[in-house]
Amino acid sequence: MKRESYWLGFVLGFLYILDSITQVRASIHEYHKEAFIPQSNAYFFHGGSEGLYASKSLDSSAAAPDDNPSKGKSSIRFENVLFVRTKESSDKQNAMQSRTGLVEAIILEVKDREKIGGAFIKADVICCTPELSSDGSCNVGEVIIQKVDNPEGPKRIQTFFEGKNQEAKMMAQSVEINSTGMYYLYFMYCDPQLQGTTIRGRTVWRNPGGYLPGKMVPLMTFYGVVSLAYLALGLVWFLRFVQFWKDIIQLHYHITAVIALGMCETALWYFEYANLNATGSRPMGITLWAVTISAVKKTLSRLLLLVVSMGYGVVKPTLGGVTSRVLLLGLIYFIASEALELVEHLGNINDFSGKAKIYLVLPVAFLDAWFILWIFSSLSKTLEKLQMRRSMAKLELYRKFTNSLAVFVLLSIAWIGYELYFNASDPLSELWQISWVIPAFWTLLAFFLLVVICVLWAPSSNPTRYAYPGEAGEDFDEEAISLASGVKVTGATDPVTGLREGLEEDKRE
């Protein structure tokens, strides 16, 4: 019952993701009647957080009249921000008063977080009280902000309710950012009578080079470089493919498909980031294609490792009875990976729910572990078969592949440990300028593992060194292979008997 409830929740979550695609923004943070949360003696709403670079100083005399005035500027712009209080709250006010409620927008760099609230005056409150205001430290009804040593510290923008009005509209304005850092935006009020107030509108965050968030800026360049690396690998593989096209086996077509998908995936991510940087919103078409191709490529890459480990095309001509299980695992992995990618890339940059992430990351992590266990279990059986058949050339090939794969798995485990440490030691994203290396590592690891497979299974004029005997198009000659590889095979079993035993074992599997 628990298992069925889990998968039902997973499916409903996936449908919710698809339903919310039309609301996607990136550096544009939208608020839809969001409520304020009580904290100490204040009420706050988290309006967003992003890494921002300092504005660049431009020579205004050299700029063309039609140039974008925001070019080179780093800023947070408030657009159509509206605060709505309850009717009960507005009815308690005097219609003749010009200011009957205050909501403040607080912009602060993460390093200045201790300057918000009464910590610096040894008071465990956020809003100023009559006792604290008596010595001139703050004003009653306002958030306490220390601005002693840094005039560019936390910024406050005030918006007042008037008379009995239920709505208060924030003035449209931009706050320029002149210092590089991780910035947080909070909307706060101190008056308990405003309890139940909601916020609507949006804020637009911009870096000097465009709308791309600071932590994602290096990724655009990274994907551009990796797409060129895939192009170079594809060109080398294509030339080798054409040169030995008469000796191509089925496995080579699978490798070609993974290279092509990797090339398309990285190129699409580059153009997706470029468009995001120019417009501030994710282009739906490119993003959906990039997410889907990325999920397909991850799935096919894992299936390629699995079928190679099983000896497909080398030890046996087909996967036999396990074909359906392999395809089912691939389908489930594709769905789980697609759902995770959609949530990660089709939501606000900093609005990825921790609970949603856990529900979507766990299935992918579980399936990855399943793939690894099945791959190494299959490799063990394949090595045992090759050793029994005295196929020394293929045995050496699979030993190299096993050792390479083991190194990549160890690197993955070590990087997961580092990633957990990185996230645990940086809860406020103060290291945002280097956080791009976390996703970049996995892309590079997948690329270099593909390079290793291309090297080991490169097309050649001697396909019998890794091809299944029936697929090579000639009689099986183990001695010829041993001579070609420089390995002397003694005491070899009869190849026909070995093949017959192998086929019977494959059918049983």
Residue 183 has pLDDT above 70, yes or no: yes
Phi/psi at 30 (nearest 5 deg)?
Answer: -105, 145
To which residue do tokens 């008037």 refer?
162
Burial label, 313 (beta-carbon count in 10 A; 0-12, 13-18, 19+): buried
**pLDDT number for residue 17:** 42
Q: Any idea which of 143-157, 168-182, 339-353 has the lowest mean pLDDT?
A: 339-353
Instruction: Say whether both 323 and 443 belong to one domain.
Output: yes
Of these ranges, 15-19, 158-162, 211-215, 466-470, the one predicted with the greatest mean pLDDT is 158-162
Does the residue 292 lie in any domain? yes
Amino acid at 17: I
**pLDDT number for residue 15:** 40
Residue 244's pLDDT band (boundaries 50, 70, 90)? confident
Instruction: Say whether both 184 and 258 belong to one domain.
Output: no
Does the residue 44 lie in any domain? yes
Amino acid at 259: I
Does the residue 273 lie in any domain? yes
**pLDDT number for residue 314:** 65
Asked if 319 contacts 468 with a C-beta cutoff of 8 angstroms, the reply is no
Name beta bridge partners: 176: 75
Does the residue 482 lie in any domain? no
CATH number of the domain encompassing residue 434: 1.20.1070
Does the residue 451 lie in any domain? yes
Instruction: Say whether both 313 and 395 belong to one domain.
Output: yes
**pLDDT number for residue 464:** 53
Give the Cα separation of 94 and 162 in Å (integer).
9
**pLDDT number for residue 461:** 72
* Domain termination site, one of 206, 237, 259: 206
What is the rounded average pLDDT of the residues 139-157? 82
Residue 457 has pLDDT above 90, yes or no: no
Residue 13 has pLDDT above 60, yes or no: no
Instruction: Say whether both 295 and 338 belong to one domain.
Output: yes
Residue 61's pLDDT band (boundaries 50, 70, 90)? very low
**pLDDT per position as a tens digit, 412-435:** 999 999 998 998 898 888 899 999
What is the rounded average pLDDT of the residues 346-363? 62
Instruction: Say whether both 232 and 190 belong to one domain.
Output: no
What is the rounded average pLDDT of the residues 17-23? 40
* DSSP category for residue 434: T
Convert 142-170 to b/e letters by CB count within 10 Å (16 or more is b): bbbbbeeeeeebbbebebebeebbeebeb
Q: 61 Cβ partners below 8 Å, 6+ apart?
A: none
Residue 267 has pLDDT above 50, yes or no: yes
What is the rounded average pLDDT of the residues 186-211? 94
Task: Name the domain count of the chain.
Answer: 2
Structure tokens at 195: 């309890």
Give the Cα separation of 142 and 309 in Å (integer).
66
Give the Cα separation of 44 and 35 in Å (integer).
9
Over pLDDT 70: what percentage of the chain? 77
**pLDDT top residue among 468 and 221:** 221
Asked if 201 contacts 32 with a C-beta cutoff of 8 angstroms, the reply is no
Amino acid at 273: Y
Q: 368 Cβ partners below 8 Å, 6+ apart?
A: 302
Residue 59 has pLDDT above 80, yes or no: no
**pLDDT number for residue 151:** 65
CATH number of the domain encompassing residue 146: 2.60.120
* Domain termination site, one of 206, 225, 253: 206
**pLDDT number for residue 468:** 57
Give the Cα separation of 74 and 208 in Å (integer).
5
Does the residue 490 lie in any domain? no
State which H helix or E strand residue 40 sits in: none
Residue 70's pLDDT band (boundaries 50, 70, 90)? low
Instruction: Say whether both 236 and 253 belong to one domain.
Output: yes
Give the Cα separation of 214 and 431 in Å (integer).
11
Does the residue 253 lie in any domain? yes
Residue among 248, 254, 252, 233 at smallest CA distance from 303: 254
Residue 450 has pLDDT above 60, yes or no: yes
Taking all residues of the chain, what is their mean pLDDT, rounded to a whole number? Answer: 81
Q: Any idea which of 110-124, 320-334, 409-423 has the lowest mean pLDDT?
A: 110-124
Residue 479 has pLDDT above 60, yes or no: no
**pLDDT number for residue 466:** 57
Instruction: Say whether both 319 and 279 belong to one domain.
Output: yes
What is the rounded average pLDDT of the residues 96-115? 91
**pLDDT number for residue 315:** 67
Give the Cα separation of 256 and 454 in Å (integer).
9
Instruction: Say whether both 235 and 289 belong to one domain.
Output: yes
Of these ranges, 325-334, 392-401, 465-474, 486-495, the one predicted with the greatest mean pLDDT is 325-334
Residue 226 lies in domain? 214-465
Residue 469: CA count within 13 A, CB half-sphere? 16
**pLDDT top residue among 29 and 153:** 29
**pLDDT number for residue 20:** 40
Does the residue 477 lie in any domain? no
What DSSP letter does each residue of 362-386 carry, written as one string? Answer: HHHHHHHHHHHHHHHHHHHHHHHHH
Q: Any idea which of 7-16, 119-128, 269-278, 479-488 has the lowest mean pLDDT?
A: 479-488
Residue 24 has pLDDT above 50, yes or no: no
Instruction: Say whether both 175 and 273 belong to one domain.
Output: no
**pLDDT number for residue 68:** 59
Q: 246 Cβ partners below 8 Å, 6+ apart?
A: none
Residue 11 has pLDDT above 60, yes or no: no
* Domain termination site, one of 427, 442, 465: 465
**pLDDT per position as a tens digit, 270-308:** 998 998 898 887 777 788 888 999 999 999 999 999 988
Give the Cα separation of 308 and 192 in Å (integer).
66
Asked if 107 contacts 175 with a C-beta cutoff of 8 angstroms, the reply is yes
Instruction: Say whether both 267 and 400 belong to one domain.
Output: yes
Residue 318 has pLDDT above 90, yes or no: no
Instruction: Say whether both 264 and 187 belong to one domain.
Output: no
CA 448 → CA 191, 254, 364, 445, distances in Å?
58, 17, 21, 5
Instruction: Say whether both 307 and 429 belong to one domain.
Output: yes
Structure tokens at 230: 């895939």
